Amino acid sequence: MKPNDVILKSVTQVAAVIILTFSIYLFMNGHHHPGGGFIGGLSMASAIVLLYLSFGIEKVRENIRVDFKKLAAIGVLIAIGTGMAGVVFGQPFLTQAFGYRDLPIFGTTELASALIFDTGVALAVIGTAVNIILSISEDR
């Protein structure tokens, strides 16, 4: 008989949203407060793992159609790409730039190329963590 884990599933539904939000917060906030791509990525991975734990691998895979192996590769490529951007503008490799712009909703916002780099870090971390756990758990 399959155990009835309705409480787990219900809690997960709520908790996943909170963890995901928190991880995005950690990620976006990294430039000025504790957090950043690494921790943001890890916590997002933990949310995904939680989903796997509660709903099973197959079901999550149907809903999140992301190949985490590719995600890791894309993350690394993004990180290298931001480095190359500096070269394109005639600067040394991995030169980061930042500036303040007036955006419609957010008002005066700081935009930093480091954020893109951090995105690469985050994607690589998510891809790596989930990929490792998936590989091991699918091992027979």
Span near other proteins by CB under 8 A; candidates 2-10, 12-20, 101-109, 130-138: 130-138
- Least spacing, CB of residue 28 vs other proteins, in Å: 12
State the burial class of residue 51 (Cβ atoms within 10 Å of its Cβ: 0-12, 13-18, 19+): buried
- Residues 2-11: contacts with CB within 8 Å, 24+ apart? 5/54, 8/54, 9/54, 9/55
When binding is defined by CB under 8 A, the residue of 12, 37, 48, 60 that contacts other proteins is: 37
Return the number of the residue (60 or 130) whose C-beta is nearest other proteins.
Answer: 130
131 binds other proteins (CB under 8 A): yes
Cα 59 from Cα 36, distance rounded (Å):
30
Return the number of the residue (12 or 128) whose C-beta is nearest other proteins.
Answer: 128
Question: Residues interacting with other proteins, by CB under 8 A?
Answer: 26, 30-39, 42-43, 46, 69, 72-73, 75-76, 79-80, 83, 93-94, 96, 98-99, 110, 112, 114, 117-118, 120-121, 124-125, 127-129, 131-132, 135-136, 138-140
